[in-house]
Structure 1
Amino acid sequence: MSNFKRYDKYKDSGIEWIGKIPEGWKVEPLKRIVKLIQTGRTPTTKNEDYFNGEIQWFTPGDFLEDKVLRESKRKISSIAIIDNEARLFPKKTIIVVGIGATVGKVAILGIDGSFNQQITGIIADEQKVNSDYLYYWLHANQEVIKNISNYTTLPIINNESLKNFECLLMPLSEQREIVNFLDQKTAEIDDLIADKEKLIELLQEKRQAVITEAVTKGLNLNVKMKDSGIEWIGDIPEGWKVTKLKYACIESAIYGLNEPSESYTEDGIRLIRATDINKLGNLDSKMQGVFIPIEKERKNILKTGDILVSRSGSLGISLYFDEDKYGKCTYASYLVKFRANKYNYSRYLFYFTKSESFYSQIKIALVTSTISNFNGQKYANMRLPLPPLDEQISIANFLDQKTAEIDSLVSEIQEQIQKLKEYRQALIFEAVTGKIDVRDYAAVS
């Protein structure tokens, strides 16, 4: 933050996690500077008239990275408000997630709206504190709020704790200057992040296009082509054939273990779930693995080269299993397993599950279905463009190299995004705690 000047004089705030503050600032608990701190409600589901109305009704799932919330996934009716089944809060209400994994997450209502009992609304006394400034103050201190929450099964922050949560105050004119500065700087950072996220999206599209081209057209641009007879595959090299996925496998569409969460243990054999797999086809490092006693699943332990495909939820998401990388594992019931026979190369079959040809067949099959669920046989009967074994190996090796190059670029951009998010958060904290003086920023810029 060396680009910004500091205030001339500081004093001790008396609060360890804030430290020193500008001399003219003071500390006040929220209850002295707000008009209302109140939790939302969920209307009874026994009355259908309370739902699908015109009033935005927010839940923690609606909180993304936006400062202002205007649109909720679910709506309630004015009848729910009239019957006191829900509360209507005015525009500019600050809303804080008070229970669950995202406790402390904060936003500000961009419209009159309502929310459920997991969210607490705070209406500022605008004669004492600017609503936007209060939003930034709470946003800067999400971790502090989380740390003072009570833990049982889930973290919970009660209204009394929020009422006593301390806030730094300065003159209203200075609050507005801080808000204007942060609105401008965070918008600039958000634009940079959006540009980088778009670049990632384009790289991921390129990744799939490279895979699709290789597993349907091969690597030789001059090879003679023939009609595959299947619209979503198109022409294929003359020496290739089209077969069903199950005919390339020694084990096809083998269902995983239906194990209740109560039987999970701290050690044993890892049970891979569909939610553990990321879009690239690896186990997601952000997901904490679950384990079951090894004696429960001795017969279906995965081998290197096995391919797992999700049949529910994120349909088609797939994993190439590598025992050296993941250790001994089995898999859960929403996944099906394919194991290549000796005439085919498992890495090639895996790359087929990452191609547009694979996903096109899922989309076509879902046209007549009302739920996002796929049985194993639908996967087993998918049409697969299949070259000779040596060409499968060459294609897989080529794709290993090309996807690694793209994945490395994506990883670098993701690190840049993370650093921008950290800088954004630090900038908000520095501004609302007076570590930097932004009063003259608008005049200078």
Structure 2
Amino acid sequence: MSIKSYTKYKDSNTVWLRNVPEHWEVKRLGYFFEERREKVNDVDYQPLSVTKNGIVPQLVTAAKTDDGDNRKKVCKGDFVINSRSDRKGSSGAATLDGSVSLINIVLKPRDEIKIDFAHHLFRSQPFQDEFYRFGKGIVADLWSTIYSDMRNITLAIPPHMEQDSIAEYLYRETEKIDALVSEQERLIALLKEKRQAVISHSVTKGLDPTAPLKDSGIDWLGNVPSHWEIKSLKFIANVQTGIAKGKDISGKSTIEVPYLRVANVQDGYLDLSDVATITIPIADYSRYALCYGDVLMNEGGDFDKLGRGHIWRDEISQCIHQNHVFAVRPMSVSSEWLNTITGSGYAQFYFMTRSKQSTNLASISSSNIMELPILLPSIAEQIEILTYITKETRKVDDLINNSQRSISLLKERRNALITAAVTGKIDVRGL
């Protein structure tokens, strides 16, 4: 549906707004809001978090100063925005009383502006860009905006009834878009489950449903094809641990080399957009050097990082790896089969049940990795299974990519709609 524009516009004399409807009031932000600066504690005032989804109750108790009053008071109907540029988009209208960390700016609206309209205006992309343009700092890509600068941002505000119309329209339309995004996200989750099921079934049961089975002797693995071998990983591969930072290299001949970190080793691919370097003794290089065909695996971190990995194919010369990334070097098995096994559901289950765990974190030792049972069909059957997995997962990956593109387009549509409505480029009255 095409939405009409307003009939008359005027120049706002500001770049981020440009022309605005003629009857909208153009004034600085400080005319419509005052800063709420009262400090409180998180005992008497519920701690709130400022997120990209709005203002929500904080799940972790905030740190306290000696007097305990290290929070800013928030009242229902205030608008709160995180002042740091690395938290861009973290803002929203408060729907309950409470307190937020001092890094946030708390705005109390005056009578001239409705908080529901401000919620959409301040969360629009152009306003966020303008807000952080006023920021100051000495660290690249990390600065903060203070209220004394923020108050000088020019706003264009429609009359009260029109603010209500715009807010109601945007709540209704964004709810529809968000519902479509949620559907696509659920579809992606189901497709990923299907992808994992294809891999796990293929590497534990094979492709022949009539093949006789035998008890694997492992409760959580169950029956496997009777003609397959089962060997611990230590008998078919070596596990190489990586280098730890901070070693004393004084007085030694050194070399600076690239090295892989956990962030570089993703699930099924390598992210080499940001590879760090490290200076090590020349004598230590061969101990940590990666070789073509190594299966890289993460020691842990967040649960989703545990055991994830990919095959190293000499993408970077003279590269080593840190101690939180294992290099599993095949001896009597192909890299492709080993990588598929370690990425399967049964291997992930093994890693999780044998890892050291704390809140949202897990890590596994090299000795536990070496005990991972590896199922070994014949070489010919391995190739057949890998070919099948590649074909089937490619179909699923195509569907996942389609859904991800749909989500991107929906989010672009959402942002564009909000921007057009709150800056007066479209007239949604009566819709």
Q: What's the TM-score bracket when you normalise by the shorter of the two chains?
A: 0.7 to 0.9
Query: What corresponds to 2:343 in structure 1?
Result: 354
TM-score (structure 2 length as normaliser): 0.88
| Mapping 1:120-269, distance limit 5 Å | 120-125=105-110, 127-140=111-124, 141-153=127-139, 154-249=142-237, 251-252=238-239, 254-259=240-245, 269=257
Provide the rounded CA distance (Å) in 2 between the counterparts of 1:416 and 1:138: 25
Question: Within 2, Cα distance between the matches of 1:82 and 1:373?
Answer: 38
CA contact (8 A) 2:162 2:429 kept: yes
In the alignment, the residues of structure 2 paired with residue 54 and residue 11 of structure 1 have an alpha-carbon distance, to the nearest angstrom, of 44
Q: How does 1:111-122 map to 2 (within 5 A)?
A: 111-122=96-107
Task: Give yes or no for contact 1:309–1:319 (8 Å, CA) kept in 2.
Answer: yes
1: CA distance, partners of 2:30 / 2:198: 58
1:119 maps to a residue whose letter is: N
Aligned partner of 1:338 among 304, 321, 328:
328
CA distance, structure 2, for counterparts of residue 227 and residue 34 of structure 1: 71
1:389 aligns with 2:374: no
Partner of 2:396: 406
Unaligned stretches of 5+ residues in structure 2: 250-255
- Per the TM alignment, residue 348 of structure 1 is displaced from its structure 2 partner at its CA by 1.1
Greater mean deviation of Cα atoms: 135-144 or 397-406: 397-406
* Secondary structure, counterpart of 1:436 in structure 2: coil
CA distance in 2, matches of 1:22, 1:418: 30
Residue in 2 that maps onto 1:71: 57
The 1-side partners of 2:319 and 2:291 are apart by 8
Contact 1:40 / 1:115 at 8 angstroms: preserved in 2?
no
Change (3 A) 1:238 1:83: closer
Separation in structure 2 between the aligned mates of residue 152 and residue 15 of structure 1, nearest angstrom: 27
Change (3 A) 1:404 1:158: same
Matched-pair contact (CA < 8 Å) for 2:37–2:72: no
Q: What's 1:47 paired with? A: none
Matched-pair contact (CA < 8 Å) for 2:311–2:336 = no
Match of 1:57 in 2: 48
Shift of the alpha carbon at 1:123?
A: 1.7
Query: Number of matched residues?
Result: 416
Give distance in 1, aligned partners of 2:294 and 2:48.
Answer: 45
Preserved CA contact (<8 Å) 2:357 2:363: no
- Quote the offset at 1:368 in angstroms: 8.0
2 CA distance for matches of 1:40 and 1:100? Answer: 23
CA distance in 2, matches of 1:229, 1:40: 63
Q: Report SS of the residue matched to 1:70.
A: strand
Q: Name the SS of the counterpart of 1:55 in structure 2.
A: coil
8 A contact 1:208–1:356 mirrored in 2: yes
Deviation sequence 1:190-241 (CA, Å, 0-9, x none) = 1010100110100111111111001101122221111111122111111112
Q: Distance in 1 between matches of 2:344 and 2:401?
A: 21
Aligned partner of 1:46 in structure 2 is: none
Distance 1:96 1:159 in 2: 10
1:110 corresponds to which of 73, 90, 95: 95
Judge which range, 198-207 or 135-144, deviates more.
135-144
- Deviation, structure 1 residue 295: 7.1
Structure 2: how far apart are the matches of 1:143 and 1:391? 56
Q: 1:83 to 1:73 in 2, by over 3 A?
A: closer
CA contact (8 A) 1:57 1:75 kept: no
Which one-letter code corresponds to 1:237 in the other structure?
A: P
How far 1:373 moved relative to its partner? 2.1
User: After superposition, what is the alpha-carbon deviation per residue over 1:309-354, rounded to whole angstroms, capped at 9, x for unaligned?
Assistant: 111213424222343656653222111110111x211111111122
Specify the code of the residue in structure 1 equivalent to 2:415: Q
Instruction: Tell me how large the CA RMSD over aligned residues is.
Output: 2.9
Change (3 A) 1:96 1:317: farther
CA distance in 2, matches of 1:200, 1:39: 45
| CA spacing shift, 1:243–1:369, aligned 2, 3 Å | farther
Task: Give the equivalent residue in structure 1 for 2:71.
Answer: 86
**Mapped pair 1:430 → 2:420:** yes
Secondary structure of the equivalent of 1:96? Answer: strand
